[in-house]
Amino acid sequence: MIQQIAGGVCAPKGFRANGVHCGIRKNKVKKDLALIVADKRCATACAYTRNLVKGAPILVTKKNVADGYAQAVIVNSGNANTCNANGVEIAEAMCALVERYTGIPKGDVVVASTGVIGQQLSIDPIAAGMEELTKGLGDNSIAAAEAIMTTDTVKKEIAFTFTLGGVPCTIGAIAKGVGMICPNMATLLMFVTTDAAISPAMLQKAVSADVKTSLNMLSVDADTSTNDTLCVMASGLAGNREIVSDGADLRAFRRALHTVTSALCRMLAADGEGATKLIECRVRGAKSQKDANLAAKSVIGSNLVKAAMFGADANWGRVLCALGYSGADLNVDAIDVAFSSAAGSIVVCKDGRGIGFSEEDAKRILSEKEIVIDVSAGGGRYKATAWGCDLTYDYVKINGDYRT
């Protein structure tokens, strides 16, 4: 049984965290440097952006976790350290600072940056903030979650307990990313910790499989960032029998991991830049998993659908349009569409054709904070869920003056 608890990345055994303002950001109220450390080397698995333009921290992290292990994560916000001539040098210097202040070898450090692209990042404020950052290490997941925020309006952390072979285990995470989010792994920064014992190979297998139905199904604006990183660290301190092969324990671990990642995807979508509503598209009855995924992602990625949801307009034709160009193999004459929320549910399309419905009821349903678009694609056995948000005036305002 999976149960939600408090604690974020510090909930699992063997992890401490902190976040401080070091001076990368001009706003002294906003934290801009985070650190997560483990008591021992952890099995570590990552996934990264598919953008050809990658932040320097990704290059350094890939090298450091090539052996499947890491023991710390350092992250700055306010500057992406991307497209900089000395980017790798700065990222490596951040890892060296972790070694200097914690004793953890620099080669066991995951490093990440988020913020403005193409702006020089100085190591000086980071170095100046390390003493305060490390002295405050403890049960400070919330501080770390705050320090990695950019245009996020709320901190995002979560944790759950679960069992492996009868042994209690815990998994927790923090995340950020409400802009430059499109379904193309990875579309944000997400750091997951667990005290489950699992080999690096099995952990990577779990992570690679999970992103297909979690982070890859998230979209805010169809822009894939340059710095997106998902990192999962497993300390093994729960004491379960190490997962080294396929089987019931790996399936149980994957369920716990997906519970975390999908919950955070919902939070990230709901906090999309300028967003007022979370949109969830559920597709069922598809001929294949690929078709289900393509259909769901196309609907939540459509600017016309997103704008209609902002205006609480039951313009279901835009949903059909998005399904039609999704690339999914669909029988248009078998598609049903319904909108639902806490205010109720209403069917607006049957067998690919419009039906009579109350515009007043539809308006009331679509005026809620969380909207579900249900799509029945026919008699297939495959289904998928994707998360997105509405498109508002504030999205343009936020990104029109992002640097200033």
Same domain, 241 and 304: no
Beta pairing partners, 76: 33, 113
Q: Are residues 172 and 43 in the same domain?
A: yes
Rounded to an integer, the average pLDDT of 164-177 is 96
Q: For 41-69, what is the mean pLDDT?
A: 93
How many whole angstroms separate alpha carbon 268 and alpha carbon 210? Answer: 17
Q: Round to whole Å and give the CA distance between 304 and 317.
A: 10
Report how far residue 272's alpha carbon sits from residue 6's, in angstroms, rounded to the nearest whole number: 24
Q: Which amino acid is at 216?
A: N
105 and 243 in a single domain? The answer is yes
Last residue of a domain, one of 270, 303, 326: 270
Q: Of the residues 187, 226, 259, 392, which is catalytic?
A: 187
307: confidence class by pLDDT, cuts 50, 70, 90: very high
Please check whether residue 372 is in contact with residue 317, taking contact to mean a CB–CB distance below 8 angstroms: no
Residue-averaged pLDDT of the chain? 93
Distance of alpha carbon 251 from alpha carbon 22, whole angstroms: 41
User: Are 85 and 22 found together in one domain?
Assistant: yes
Residues 240 and 296 in one domain: no
Can you give the CATH number for the domain in which 239 is found? 3.60.70.12
Smallest CA-to-CA distance from 313 within 250, 257, 383, 360 is with: 360
Question: What span, in angstroms and rounded, lies between the C-alpha atoms of 404 and 383?
Answer: 43
Active site residue 187: yes
**Residue 398: how many CB atoms within 10 A of its CB?**
15
Residue 242 sits in the same domain as residue 316: no
How many domains in the chain? 2
Q: Are residues 340 and 194 in the same domain?
A: no
Q: Which of 270, 295, 328 is the last residue of a domain?
A: 270
Predicted structure pTM score: 0.91
Confidence of residue 180 (pLDDT cuts 50, 70, 90): low
Q: Name the residue range of residue 128's domain.
A: 3-270
Same structural domain for residues 236 and 92?
yes
Among residues 270, 291, 322, which one ends one of the domains?
270
Q: Are residues 54 and 185 in the same domain?
A: yes
At 395, which CATH number? 3.10.20.340
383 and 332 inside one domain: yes
| 339 lies in the same domain as 235 | no
pLDDT per residue as tens digits for the range 105-130: 999 999 999 988 889 999 999 999 99
* Same structural domain, 112 and 239: yes
